[in-house]
Structure 1
């Protein structure tokens, strides 16, 4: 009887002279305690042919395992820790040692890629937090100030005939496509650049480039005409931030021009305007905070 054999120790030769393994039978409850798995889990592993008992009593259906089988449970738990599904675990258990080494090397590469993605995601979260703080908590709202800004990586698209009041969905859609191709996402900041000068009307502003930021450092070839990865240079910038309401853009742009003239500041004659939505619900009216900034020439 199987129940009688449970208390008997068996000797099995391990393949080496004078070296023997002591084998005995364990109940499902004993295996559960030794492996720190539940009885329900062991029964499930049996049903899906992942880890089966060595014998089942035909009378009472009690499951019995050999103590040497615990080793395979350790392997299963290790593979699950790597993030494998039970189906993947079943497949891996059929591999030869050589095939397993190749498989684990591939898993290591996948984890490295995921780790890099998490680093980029964390950088995006940090920058988004800083952006929101910089825009919405700006103490000098609608006043000109000097900001020291680090270099910022962008994806930009060359444009023509894009005016202040245009909605360039096609251009930003293409930028979004490029970002996805390089493993990044749209930054939700909408940027543009145009020549610094006095304009009679906002309708006279003509954007040279539209852009958004990217968090990825991957080197990649851009396969779209007039689209490129570039850098907004580090340095000191004259900046003014304001909510986009009626004539606030024109008022703040003129403040920036007057400040330059009054203080005789030498700047790179390019205006960067950055639009950040502050209403994220599509059913509500659009709201934006805008920053205009101009790089001060280094002396």
Structure 2
């Protein structure tokens, strides 16, 4: 009569085949404390796993495929509360979405830059008169300027609800925002009698000379328009002075279709006097 020797679980090879993960990957998970074998034979050092560990191995693999840091993977796997786990994963997915947005913007910009012959840039030299606006202004880090803009515009919309505005919204962006990564930003809507509510305050924008062009479509490649307008200013002996202006002729609050958006970019200038 033959005796049956019971194994302590699935060998690492069997577990690798079932989970479709390599033995090398499983060893790395063990070494980094992500997935401990159910049993490690003290004499042979062989690793053994149980079938109950299969979902955990697959979850870890998916999280690492999504570039979640090891520390956060451990937090997810150690969390016993489903809501806590979901919150950790959701936070990482939100960061991934932001990275995808930045990647998409970079690709769009690069494609436009690599066109053999860009179309002609229509530029208007304009004298903008003083303008009374309701505004929200703050010194902002460049990395969070889009988030800050959305919040500021929501506050403006709430403060001006039911009031008659006299033009499209706009923004003024200090050069330090781009050169130093942090600078003054002013978001505004023109209105005859601006209120003072929360961060919203009345501002009189001074008169300014501008070189103006219109950027069509989404803002993924607006940096290319900035660059071309800057080149125009330089080539035509105009000296830059002051914050860059943006006027949102058509934006996401007007039309959800990004292809319909029109953003007017204004570069403050003054003409160089002849010698």
TM-score by length of 1: 0.43
TM-score by length of 2: 0.46
Please say which structure displays the higher CA radius of gyration: 1
